[in-house]
């Protein structure tokens, strides 16, 4: 793979991995919605989609009638629309970075009484009938992250939004230990970035030529 396509494929991945590493090195947990989490992942793999399926199935016939740059804009717009469709079809969930299930559950237990007097626990599952929220707590011990995943198709998105708004300020006041695995992610991202910089510096003309070839300039 030439340096330009290598940078296009691995550049967004390096940024995504770097952000994950920095989040896990923070001493504060971070709560994000499942939609934003999936959107970040979709942007992270966008480079692979461009150098993979998009370039493989590039409509050369259309490029002969229109400018190649216009065709690329249409392809990228199509990918963005597909990503938005996937995000809209996802069931609601919340992701808490840099926190374990054992740390999150007591905080959540203190809040559910204020949110819904009819709240009921069943193991790691929680039902909030008044909010229309039913969730299951799933932990990722390796990365010390927690996901509040919806259970069942009948969910109230407004209730999930209220749960997010109430839980966010509580987590902002919590201080946790840094996750050592975050340093590994940051190191991997910096290593990828250094490799890409070296590839560009070694042959910048090839990078420019590959860009012009892709855009048919």
Give per-residue pLDDT as tens, 135-166: 999 988 778 889 999 988 788 889 999 999 99
Same domain, 188 and 168: no
State how many domains the chain has.
2
Same domain, 34 and 56: yes
If asked whether residues 5 and 33 sit together in one domain, one would say yes
Residue 59 region by backbone torsions, left for phi larger than 0, else alpha for psi between -120 and 50, else beta: beta
Neighbours of 146 (CB within 10 A): 26
H helical segments located in 26-180: 34-44, 46-49, 55-56, 60-65, 68-89, 101-115, 157-172
CA distances from 23 to 3, 19, 32, 95 (A): 29, 6, 11, 12
Q: How confident is the model at residue 185 (pLDDT cuts 50, 70, 90)?
A: very high
CATH at 148:
3.30.310
Q: Are residues 184 and 161 in the same domain?
A: no
What is the extent of the structural domain holding 29? 1-90+178-217
Q: Let me know whether 17 and 5 are in one domain.
A: yes
The string of pLDDT tens digits covering residues 49-86 is 999 898 888 887 777 777 777 888 889 999 999 999 99
The 10s digit of each residue's pLDDT in 87-131 is 999 999 999 998 888 888 888 888 887 888 888 888 888 888 888
Examine the domain organization and report whether 115 and 136 are in the same domain.
yes
Instruction: Write down which residue in 143, 158, 176 finishes a domain.
Output: 176
pLDDT of 36 reads 93
pLDDT digits (tens, 9 = 90+) for 4-40: 888 899 999 999 999 999 988 888 899 999 999 999 9
pTM (two decimals): 0.86
């Amino acid at each position: 793979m030439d340096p330009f396509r290598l940078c296009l494929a691995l550049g967004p991945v390096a940024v995504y991995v770097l952000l994950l590493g920095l989040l896990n090195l923070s001493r504060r947990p971070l709560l994000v919605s499942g939609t934003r989490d999936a959107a970040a992942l979709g942007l992270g793999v966008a480079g692979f989609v461009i150098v993979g399926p998009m370039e493989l199935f590039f409509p050369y016939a259309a490029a002969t009638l229109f400018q190649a740059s216009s065709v690329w804009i249409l392809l990228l717009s199509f990918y963005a629309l597909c990503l938005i469709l996937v995000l809209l079809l996802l069931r609601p969930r919340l992701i808490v970075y840099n926190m374990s299930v054992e740390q999150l559950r007591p905080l959540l237990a203190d809040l559910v009484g204020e949110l819904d007097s009819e709240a009921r626990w069943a193991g790691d599952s929680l039902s909030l009938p008044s909010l229309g929220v039913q969730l299951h707590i799933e932990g990722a011990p390796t990365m010390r992250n927690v996901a509040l995943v919806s259970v069942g198709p009948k969910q109230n998105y407004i209730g999930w939004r209220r749960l997010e708004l109430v839980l966010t300020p509580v987590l902002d006041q919590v201080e946790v230990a840094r996750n050592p695995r975050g340093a590994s992610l940051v190191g991997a991202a910096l290593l990828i970035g250094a490799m890409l910089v070296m590839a560009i510096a070694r042959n910048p003309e090839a990078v420019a030529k590959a860009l012009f070839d892709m855009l048919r300039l």
